[in-house]
Structure 1
């Protein structure tokens, strides 16, 4: 955002819950996801116009004012939350429900994880409800394919769990990673819009494959519909019985 200091300051205090209610955080996440799907995050950051729109819409819907600094802090907190949860899903014996964002494991696995990872405890009860959306926002396509698993399956431990802890990352480095400022010349460019499209396609086909009793003809029609970005997004948001209605009415 223009006019905002480049240093990232992560605020964690007792006022945070009152500043960011669960509903306001949800609005913020949904607005960022919408901007990604509209193609307004073409590098590692949203455009200036996109951030301006997100801020204005958030303030209007939440009926309270948020500063650039508060948005930046929340963005980086969500980025770190995504990183921590992704790391948790790599653990052997961890089950994940992509619909609810909840995780499951035996008490033995949890006891082990909470001793090693300080963040595991907070995910045990609530999981990460908006993990799928955060993957889209951040452009993390590794959450799909072999790493996307329902609660009935556990991910394999690929051993790639060497990410630095948040406290060991300098403020300037964390800001560079977040891409919150508009200086794209300092970072490797990549197409987030394309990544998001691939992510939605993978997720849509994954969900479709779990639906029993549909014919090959219906399946083929659904795959054809998934060429449309809106169809994929709507399909993933539907309740299970509504997905079946949608499939049976394809023409």
Structure 2
């Protein structure tokens, strides 16, 4: 059966996460594709900052001492910060006292947390974001639950399925989440396979999903999808979003709020 490029790239990244490095020969055999096709996949993934090409193969990007800007949280936190803050303000104002919510480890949800912590609301908040949890703990009315997992270099979020059992024990009203990108066919996408799997579990436990997307993320695709378009209830974006994108999103039946 033919394997599409997105599926191949998911499996390549998953293999590198488990083994740290791989040769073109072994990946071509595992995926049952030609070496030419495999090299094209690796070159494309390197250009997206997902891996490092080596002679005859590739290594996981985290194995290098430096991280590309697209994966470093400290860099992402400072990117489009004004837009993220505006989006976070609207999202925080949507939260009602007494609710149980999830905030992912994104820089946009961190901005939301910085506003939420100043509000007088009684909340239970689950998050895999270390910075987000530290921010939220300053409000005595909040019960903050940190979802456990693996902490990798350059990240401010815990990943993996180690702590997902807690999601089965708590009734979650709304998940607030961002992404590396949003595309109309696949919905919310991200570049880290382990984080994607955790986000899928988080999303499936929530009754409602609110996507926080600054305008640069609409139309941008990444390696794996974690929430399909039809499963998103609200998208909050900023005034930089193209009018044609806003129209298309609303035609899809999505509620769109512009900060």
TM-score, normalised relative to structure 1: 0.29
RCO comparison, higher one (Cα < 8 Å, 6+): 1
Higher share in helix: 1
Q: Quick check: which one's strand share is greater?
A: 2
